[in-house]
Amino acid sequence: MSVTIVNYNMGNSGSVVNALNYLGVTCEISSVPDKILRSSKIIIPGVGSFRQAMDNMRRMNLYDAICEAVLVKKIQILGICLGMQLFTQLGEEGGNTKGFGFIEGNISKFSEQINLRMPHVGFNSVKILNKDSLLFKGLETESDFYFVHSYRLGNSECPFIHATCEYGELFAAAVERDNIFGVQFHPEKSQSNGLKMLSNFSKL
């Protein structure tokens, strides 16, 4: 099995590699489209602006490769934080920008009315909605994961939400659709729960 972590100059790839190495999962960081298309699994990490991320994807010739890998070859893909957000139809961060469109919904900033510190940083409880979720197999219905973000996918915008979290308002913590998986939190920073989730993905 070969897991490719996509390098699009927006990520925390090193910490994801460390977590996978700890689990004994063979992985490689790459920005080569052909390598991505030959992967058994793909992970898109990410920290930063939605718009800059999508600009980088196109400039580095990664957009078409990822679309082909996911939609045509049906390779299993995991988006982490910004990586998950890129799977949606539109992101507001940095100016309205089209995403990959794999998952219904748009990414917008937390409401200013919630009166909480931004970004949302630290461990928070994630409620798993689907007992058949592949990512959360073996985890408690409510489990803690580590978040760092100011933008989110609203809870009502997508039919493929498998877990939610609350920070002044309810938002999507994880999505699953066929071979497409995404988490708003950082599993590589979420200790044993995050390692279990990454292990589940690697064994799909």
What the chain holds in terms of domains, given with CATH numbers, is: 3-202 (3.40.50.880)
Active site residue 120: no
Tally Cβ neighbours within 10 Å of residue 115: 7
Q: 69-98, pLDDT tens digit by residue?
A: 999 999 999 999 999 999 999 999 989 999
Active site residue 92: no
Which pTM was predicted?
Answer: 0.95
Question: Mean per-residue pLDDT for 23-47?
Answer: 95
Name residues whose C-beta falls within 8 Å of residue 119's C-beta, 6 or more positions apart in sequence: 148, 149, 150
Name residues whose C-beta falls within 8 Å of residue 161's C-beta, 6 or more positions apart in sequence: 129, 153, 155, 172, 174, 175
Active site residue 162: no
- The length of the chain in residues reads 204
Annotated catalytic residue, options 120, 149, 162, 186: 186
- pLDDT over threshold 90, residue 115: no
Express as a percent the part of the chain with pLDDT over 90: 86
Annotated catalytic residue, options 81, 120, 149, 158: 81
